[in-house]
Copies of this chain bind each other. A is one copy, B any other.
Amino acid sequence: MPDKLKIGKLVVIGVGLIGASFALALKRARAVGRVVGVGRTRGNLAAALRMKAIDEATRDAAHAVRGADLVLLATPVGQMPAVMAAIAPHLSGRAIVTDAGSTKGDVIACARRFLGANFPRFVPAHPVAGTENSGAAAALAELYRGKNIVLTPQRETAAGAVALVQRAWEACGARVVRLDAAEHDTIFAAVSHLPHVVAFALVSALARRRNAGKLFGHSGGGLRDTVRIAGSSPAMWADICLANRDALLAALEDYENELETMRAAIESGDGDALRAIFGRARAARRKWLVKKQD
């Protein structure tokens, strides 16, 4: 059995739902010494301090990372270039850096460009967890329990760095899996980024209508669940859509083709075709999603 994990100084850059929950979980596991939170708004940093997710708050990432053992980048992916460029000169030779971005190809390219000599100690990661709420105030120490964390280490990535990041996530109660970065981006375009686009588009189309208030007033639990994730952060999701553009556009095209097949069946009154499509969808949901939940 390995020694108990002890991270001396953890720096969380971007103290939102994801970053603050990571800090809370590590504190609860007594796996971390001091946590410094870096954020852009005083209100959110104050909330993170109040919840004791972080011990110290600053808006200066470069200063914060000095002496850090582990740095978690938990900002929207669009901010990664600026953040990495700012911290790179101040990282010690032993600092391990990881991220929580929902896309991996772009973040890895960015790290390769900006982290320089520290790149072998950068461990690309994607915690597959979250809620539709954002901000430190929404953080939960239990957010990652039983959830998957996908690591996409590169050829250069040091085994020791991967091991530490894996142990940190396991201390949060999560399960660590590995994927090739490009495969990760294709998979999550389909099962996460596309569903967000679908949910945002559905609410947006309804909201544009003259009688939007009446429409929503008559809606039931079906619409509510279908668009739950349209409560997610617009800035974060705009970043993700652009960072994973090609894979997302391919998944969107597949989906639009499926809608067109359904539209044609509705237009021509082809009940058999509709029953076949709906039946296949229901069977797939049962086989894969309901089973998974159990």
A293/B192 contact (C-beta < 8 A), A207-B281, A258-B201 known? no
A68 at the interface (CB under 8 A from B): no
Contact with B along A206-239 (1 / 0, CB 8 A): 1111011111111111111111111110110111
A87 at the interface (CB under 8 A from B): no
Of B220, B235, B255, the contact of A201 (CB 8 Å cutoff): B255
A190-B209 Cα distance, complex, nearest whole Å: 10
Q: Assembly of this chain: how many copies?
A: 2
Task: Indicate if the CB atoms of A267 and B245 lie closer than 8 Å.
Answer: yes
Residues of B within 8 A of A225 (CB): 225-226, 228-229
Of B188, B238, B274, the contact of A278 (CB 8 Å cutoff): B238
Tell me the dominant secondary structure on chain A's binding face. Answer: helix
Which residue of B is nearest A236, CB measured? B278
Of B203, B213, B289, the contact of A285 (CB 8 Å cutoff): B203
A221-B203 Cα distance, complex, nearest whole Å: 19
Residues of B within 8 A of A256 (CB): 256, 259, 263
Residues of B within 8 A of A277 (CB): 200-201, 204
